[in-house]
Structure 1
Amino acid sequence: MVEKVTHSYWLSLALVNLAPKIDRVGRTQHSKNAKNSKVICLKNVARVAHPKWLRLHHTSTLAAQRKKGTTLKIMKTPKPSAISKRSENIVQAQLDAYNSRDLDAWLATYSEDAQQLLLHAGELAIGHDAIRKRMEERFNDAKLHAQLLHRIVMDNIVVDHELVTRTFPDGLGKVEMVCIYEVDRDKIVKATFAIGQAHSA
């Protein structure tokens, strides 16, 4: 089924969230004469949701608004709460310790009964002893380094998107990770990881 989607920036953003459920999407491209409007069928929804298309579309929307003499209200990110700041500080401390390969300092950012989980796959380690055992060999890797690509903080939840460089059995490589940290009383109580495919560095 082909749907007609109006030439709207915000509706385009919504398509990103709907992408898994949509097989084919159409959008209406309006000319000055409404009779000349036509529907362009896009076989792959990724083309609609592509960042480049969204940027171009957003730019054209801004230009149209300026031409009409109107202004767009830009949504601002809420000011971080005190809880958010404390949570981010703890997560940043563990990242710094990770990159310094200081196992004791890194482990100190976790609560005694902290959980490390693999997203949709269950537990990796629970408690300091198990976490230490799991990470000891990793911290001996001289090439170990996590590059922070993006971070989202909301109260006691911190989500880091990282690119980790480390030594794999077949040599030096890189792997993307999404790390979801839950912080309580200035300690990480739960860390959930989504791990991408490793590739050579």
Structure 2
Amino acid sequence: MNPHPPVTSDTSKAVTPQALREQYEGGATVDELVTASGLSYGTVLNRLHDAGTVMRTSWQTRRMRQNPQARQRLAARLRTLYEQHGATLTELATAAGETRRGARRLLIEAGGTVRTTHQTLRMRTAARAAERHKLAVSLRGRYEAGATVPELAREHSYSVATVYRLLHQAGTPMRPQHNHGPTRREGQRP
């Protein structure tokens, strides 16, 4: 036995396909039309199709209901993160509270172009090299101002060997090493 018989009153006939289409195109969902009209889900869908309604996906409905200016700002922010900071689609999705597909869609809406994984790796490698060069130049400046290699290593939490390598990469002229041990007299063995 059917607990909810279909609605066959005059009100169901008063809800015309064109009226449903106008409400749907105004942003209402099928579920909302079902609730408002008292019609079954299938009847609402059939009437929408009869009226020639172009159906939306759920993400298109969400996008339609969002504040367009807020969406544009979010898309622009994601594009900046993607293009200038080398963020991945996964990182964009986390920043936007979206899925990877949603983040990709926002990026494209903002005029961005999606990179390949290889391009992202290359971009990140270049960024790391630039940061390392910047650090090497900074260490050179401190070294030439009188700081010692062990002091620089402690300040930056690097090994002494890493600091030497960075100083050499920056083309730093090294100071002569001094023997800080006890003085040796001539004729004594080392």
User: TM-score interval w.r.t. the shorter chain?
Assistant: under 0.3
Structure with greater proportional helix content: 2
* Higher Cα radius of gyration: 2
Structure with higher strand content: 1
TM-score, normalised on structure 2? 0.20
